[in-house]
Structure 1
Amino acid sequence: MTAAQLRALHRPGNPVILANAWDAASARAVQAAGFPAVATSSAAVALSLGYADGEATPVEEMLDAVARIARAVDVPVTADLERGYGLPPAQFVERLLATGAVGCNLEDSDPRTKKLIDVDRQADFLAAVRAAAGADVVINARVDAYVRGAKDQAEDRTRRYLAAGADCAYPIGAAVAADIGALAGIGPINVLFTPATPSLAELAELGTARISFGSGIHEALATRHGRMLAAIAAGASPYQE
């Protein structure tokens, strides 16, 4: 699978929908359901490996998990790799491609401090990743302005990251239709689908190019798992709500 195939799925107004996976089994389920690509969720992968989100997973373990997912499916894989785990851009690209993945998410706040990275510094980082990758990686540049209390920076960061070479900007936390429409007017954007966002059809009408679910599916399954375990512990059937 190639980056060109993944990139071609990003069509504003007819977005690619990504049901995020966290291991080989969930990735195979995504493909079996008919999705044209698989995206990983850094939080879900981290939890499945026994770590917290926020680059607490050793980079080798995270990349190994991505490689297992890529080997398990016959569709393009894009990996959520937080802020790159401190790897220099050229090394980051080399190791990403070695997993078999052809895309990545890169966020613009520090996973540990939760503070936004200076926009010039982040744009330079994305440009360096693009230079190292050429056309071989689809870059989804996460814009953390909404989740870091700096909504007023979202449009500027979106413009800057797309200009730096990102294929798509990801204003995570954007949920108001007017905001999403304005951001989609700048260039291709990824919207995180949540109960607070417009419907899938409405997001398409607003011009989004990509819709993902992040760790939402993993969280829903974990909640269901917890209810089943509680039922068993109480001596009841886990198969009845």
Structure 2
Amino acid sequence: MQLDPEDQYRRAVEFARLHQGERAFVLVNAWDAGSARLLWQSGFPALATTSAGLAFSLGRPDGENLVRRAEALENARSIVAATPLPVSGDLESCYADSVEGVARTIRLAAEAGLVGASIEDATADPDEPIRPVTEAAERVAAAVEAARELPFPFTVTARAENFLYGRGDLKDTIARLQAYEAAGADVLYAPALPGLDAIRAVRAAVDKPLNVLAGAAASVDELSAAGADRISVGSAFARAALGAFVEAALEVRDHGTFSFAQRALDYGEANERMSAPPSA
């Protein structure tokens, strides 16, 4: 189902506006339509997809280019249709080697109903996990150019992946984010920055809205005070669900008991939540 153009425009404007608040907003990541419904009903203002959550749901590891573009966009389409919220896509490296392929991925993302997407500078090559900055910036520029041709404000988030791949080089990470800002990215993101001081350093070095990855060591207020404009949950909700599932399975296997069911969402409530119309 194609999203109504007026509805997509509304979602896009609302998503862009969220980045201009005085306090950071939390962008929660759904991995399917059901999790999207639950997050919407929990009161969050916007959603993102999660490449890791999708990969895990398909029985595949994340970060190895094992999820195809068509699969990611079909997943995104189902999440978009599940709620009236703006949705941004975690599109990894845009599933393309060429700048033309990057641009096509952005256009297809818009067709799927997304109002934003991220592009990474990772390669999925263990020998050379991060692209040269010039090449990565050219890819960001291609994504931005494709986004600007759309009839609504599509938010492009450029990601510097150094710290996720063991490259603890804050100076290079900042230089990359500055290059992606110059290439036109709307939002900048360096996942797994090592603490609040690093976030402050990045915030001081760039002018565009800054996304950071949530972690157990800092609260929304602390991350916001350090300079975050947006806080992503990433795959944490999906992994929390998997963790509860494994814990329940091991209880049954190892103890022959079923106390996990007492912590499960009530059947009637789950059914009701999934029956709620997405336009409510």
TM-score, L = length of structure 2? 0.81
Other-structure match for 1:210: 230
Amino acid of the structure 1 residue aligned with 2:33: A
**1:191 pairs with 2:212:** yes
- C-alpha distance in structure 2 between counterparts of 1:58 and 1:90, whole Å: 16
CA-to-partner distance for each residue in 1:187-232, whole Å, 9 max, x for gaps?
Answer: 3211101124x22101111121100110111111111111111112
1:1-241 map, 5 Å: 1-2=8-9, 3-11=12-20, 13-54=22-63, 55-86=65-96, 88-113=101-126, 115-134=129-148, 136-148=153-165, 149=167, 150-185=169-204, 186-187=206-207, 188-196=209-217, 198-233=218-253, 234-239=255-260
Partner secondary structure for residue 136 of structure 1:
coil
Amino acid of the structure 1 residue aligned with 2:244: R
Q: Which range moves more in the overlay, 13-22 or 86-95?
A: 86-95
Distance 1:59 1:232, change over 3 A: same
Amino acid of the structure 1 residue aligned with 2:48: A
Partner secondary structure for residue 164 of structure 2:
coil
Partner secondary structure for residue 115 of structure 1:
coil
- Shift of the alpha carbon at 1:171? 0.8
Amino acid of the structure 2 residue aligned with 1:221: A
Partner secondary structure for residue 212 of structure 2:
strand
- Shift of the alpha carbon at 1:13? 4.4
- Shift of the alpha carbon at 1:70? 0.6
- Residues 12 and 204 of structure 1 are in contact (CA less than 8 Å); yes or no, is this contact kept in structure 2? no
- Shift of the alpha carbon at 1:21? 0.6
- C-alpha distance in structure 1 between counterparts of 2:158 and 2:82, whole Å: 25
Partner secondary structure for residue 20 of structure 1:
strand
- Shift of the alpha carbon at 1:12? 6.2
Unaligned runs of 5+ in 2: 1-7, 264-280
- Shift of the alpha carbon at 1:238? 3.3
- C-alpha distance in structure 2 between counterparts of 1:147 and 1:229, whole Å: 30
- C-alpha distance in structure 1 between counterparts of 2:224 and 2:22, whole Å: 5
How many residues are aligned here? 240
- C-alpha distance in structure 1 between counterparts of 2:178 and 2:137, whole Å: 10
Q: Which range moves more in the overlay, 106-115 or 136-145?
A: 106-115
Partner secondary structure for residue 61 of structure 2:
coil
- C-alpha distance in structure 1 between counterparts of 2:228 and 2:93, whole Å: 23
CA-to-partner distance for each residue in 1:143-195, whole Å, 9 max, x for gaps?
Answer: 11222313331111111111111111111111321110121222321110112
Distance 1:112 1:70, change over 3 A: farther
Unaligned runs of 5+ in 1: none
CA-to-partner distance for each residue in 1:72-120, whole Å, 9 max, x for gaps?
Answer: 1101000101001116133112211111011111111112436111111
- Shift of the alpha carbon at 1:50? 2.5
CA-to-partner distance for each residue in 1:6-63, whole Å, 9 max, x for gaps?
Answer: 1111136411201211000001111111111011110001111222212211221111
Amino acid of the structure 2 residue aligned with 1:158: L
- C-alpha distance in structure 2 between counterparts of 1:66 and 1:102, whole Å: 11
TM-score, L = length of structure 1? 0.93
Structure 1 residue ranges, 4+ long, deviating more than 4 angstroms after superposition: none
Q: Which range moves more in the overlay, 67-76 or 86-95?
A: 86-95
